[in-house]
Each structure stands twice: as structure tokens, then as C-alpha cells.
Amino acid sequence: MSDLRIGRVLSRLGLSSRRDTAAFLENHSVVFNNSPITELNTLIPEEELRKKPLLVNGREYFLRTDPVLLLHKPVGFICSHKPQKGQKTIFNLLPEQYENFYFAGRLDADSEGLVVLSSDGDLIYALTHPTRQTIKKYKVTLQRPVPPAAEQRALSGIIDRGEKLKFHKLQKISPIEYEVYLTEGKKREIRRVFARIGSEVTRLIRVEMGPYSLDSIPEGKFVTLTQEDPGSRETQSPQ
């Protein structure tokens, strides 16, 4: 075991990326062993973090020994522990030992990309609860272009089926390709917004969720991030 910088600790807990550590410490109360943490160079013994909690705004977080899984979900699979007859779920892509893992953020059957799984409910909560404002990044391809005025509507917000939907950020890559950023993930939100402003989504891929990224994980495969070395990825597939 070794001493961990606070940025690495927050990343492993799914609370912040390392590059955002300074802002996180400025905007949140972070305490360990009754000592407030405000400096980027603060070191915490890893062994102690398995026994004593890091307090973030009063909530307890422990390091876990189970791995975090990053799965590249293909189209045609759903995020569910209880599928209907004939449905394929993300757990069909994973070994049985992970069948009770929680997953962060549903992707519908028509969408693909990053799904984060863990046995640590606190980590999943940190990634998914609306109050945490975790940024999720998607690459979206449209059937046809939308005008700039429509793009602004997506950013300012629209009402659909009684819900207000809005993008946190929208970056145009080509006339029909965008990077979309969300801080909440309402049901089929991206597809609903683009449908209301004049175009159908033909491909949707989630590529980032908080500190985790899809990178080059092959479709249908997953990587494990070990607690001993969270920067090491080992691509795997069901046995």
C-alpha cells in the first residue's frame, strides 16, 4: 500500500477528475481524520482509507477492493438487472461474478458507449444523482442539420411531455455531428431534444462520465480498473 494524493483519491471514488481537483476542494468540504483538506499535495495512506472514511460534505466514502468496470455497450443491449423476455442486457456481456454490480446511468437499447459498473453504491450515487451535476459527454450524429437558432433552444431548454430538457454544453463537429454534454440524464433526453428542434438522432455514443472515459475500449468488451492501480486497464470479455 502507498500514500495517495487527494486528486487520485477523489478520482477513484468517482467524485472528480484529477484535473478538476482544485475546483472540487474549493467548492466542497473534504475532511479526513478530522483534518480539512484544501491542498492539492495532500497525501492520505491508502490502507487508512480502507478503514476510515473520507468525508465529502459530511458524507462518508471508503476505498473498495472490488474493481470498477468500464463497459462499451453495443446497440441492442439494455441496462437492466431484470430484462423482459427476449431482451439482451449488459450483464450478458459480463462474467457472472459481476451480475450484482450497480451501473451508472442507463443507455437505451438504441444507444451505445460507456457504462460504469461497481459494487460500491456510493460511487454510483456520486456519478448519477442530479445534485452531483456529474458531466456526461456524448457524440451524436443527426439525420439532417439543425439551424443555429435551434441549437440555442437546446441550450436554453425546451419543454417536452411536461419536463424541461436542456443541454449543459453543445459543440458542433460537422453539420450533422455534435458533442453533447449533460449534467442530468433524463429518459432519452438527447433524442427528445433533437426531435423537438428538427432532426432525428441516428447514432448516439456516450464517451465520458465524470472521471471515466470510453477511450479505445472495443464494442462489447470491458476493462477493469484495479484499486491498486486505477490507471491500468485490462480489456476483457466473458469467459
Q: Which residues are annotated as catalytic?
A: 108
CA 224 to chain centre: 15
Q: Concatenated DSSP letters for 159-196?
A: EETTEEE--SEEEEEETTEEEEEESS--TTHHHHHHHH
How many CB atoms lie under 10 A from the CB of residue 236? 15
Q: Can you tell me the distance from the alpha carbon of 11 to that of 94, in angstroms, rounded to the nearest whole number?
A: 24
Quick count: other Cβ atoms within 10 Å of Cβ 105?
19
Cβ contacts of 56 within 8 Å, gap of 6 or more: 15, 28, 29, 30
237 φ/ψ angles, rounded to the nearest 5 degrees:
-150, 160
Residues 6+ apart with CB under 8 A from 216: none
